[in-house]
Amino acid sequence: MFLELALTLATTLMTPVKPVQKQQTSKNQTIYVKESKEPCTGVAPMECLQIKGVKDTEWSNLYTNIEGFKYTPGYRYKLLVRVTPVKNPPADGSSIRYTLRKVLEKKKVNTTPEKGSPWAFIASKRWNLIKLGDSTLTQSGIWVEFDPATKRFHGKGGCNSISGGYHANGENITFTMAISTRMACMDENVMRREAEFLKMIGEHTYRYDVADQTLNFYENDKLVMIFGMQPKDLQ
């Protein structure tokens, strides 16, 4: 009996004591929400709200929603939110839950290009692809339109609908997260050309200019894409 008691006491003394884990609690935080979303990749390609703290200088992607918050593009928000850690979040879920407490500010941001600027003209037209790489195209069925307010483009790839994000800075334009629907077409040449076009506007930066009635993209000073101008209200 004494031996069993001694062994039990020794085992108890040798067993490490687990530290008490500090319970995670919710907290209030003030954040800004940008006037436009940006393409991002979570479980799948999507668009993310852009947020930053009061003292932050850079925007970051928010891969979840803010509960109780109704977002309207074109407005910059200052919000008071409740930030709550999520215990055992799902594999495709966020480890933090944001809940709106109060809208502190909502300001309209002018995202319309200045009248007479290149982008005011570009955004007012539909652009039909007439040259891709070294190939000159006739009736390619590939076209794009640009929306400066949301920094998004949309159009047709010849077979499927296409869309994505873009950012224009000076003479350069950067395409991001180009995606398309998944409809198969009978013409293999159309599908091949569509795939080539999507590859060229996926995560690429080009120098651009507008000459006469064309929108031109250059890579390393080589002209790689030419778009012809068309009215934007085409169906």
pLDDT in tens, 155-195: 999 999 999 989 888 899 999 888 888 888 888 889 999 99
Residue 112 has phi, psi (to 5 degrees) of -80, 130
Give residue-wise pLDDT tens across range 113-157: 666 678 889 999 999 999 999 999 988 899 999 998 888 899 999
Residue 142 has phi, psi (to 5 degrees) of -100, 125
How many degrees, rounded to 5, is the angle at CA 34 between CA 31 and CA 35?
140
Global pTM value: 0.62
Taking the CA atoms of 128, 133, 136 and 137 in sequence, report the sign of the dihedral they define. Answer: negative
Residue 135 has phi, psi (to 5 degrees) of -100, 130
Dig out the tokens for 72 from the structure: 């309207």
Dig out the tokens for 69 from the structure: 């918050």
Quote the CA–CA distance of 81 and 54 in Å, as a whole number: 13
SS3 for 5?
helix
14, pLDDT greater than 60: no
Q: What is the DSSP letter of 134?
A: T
Q: Are 27 and 83 in contact (CB under 8 A)?
A: yes
Cβ atoms < 10 Å from Cβ of 130: 17
Share of the chain above pLDDT 70, in %: 85
Taking the CA atoms of 5, 11, 13 and 18 in sequence, report the sign of the dihedral they define. Answer: negative
Residue 208 has phi, psi (to 5 degrees) of -130, 160
Quote the CA–CA distance of 211 and 214 in Å, as a whole number: 5
Check residues 60 and 93 and name the one with the higher pLDDT.
Answer: 60
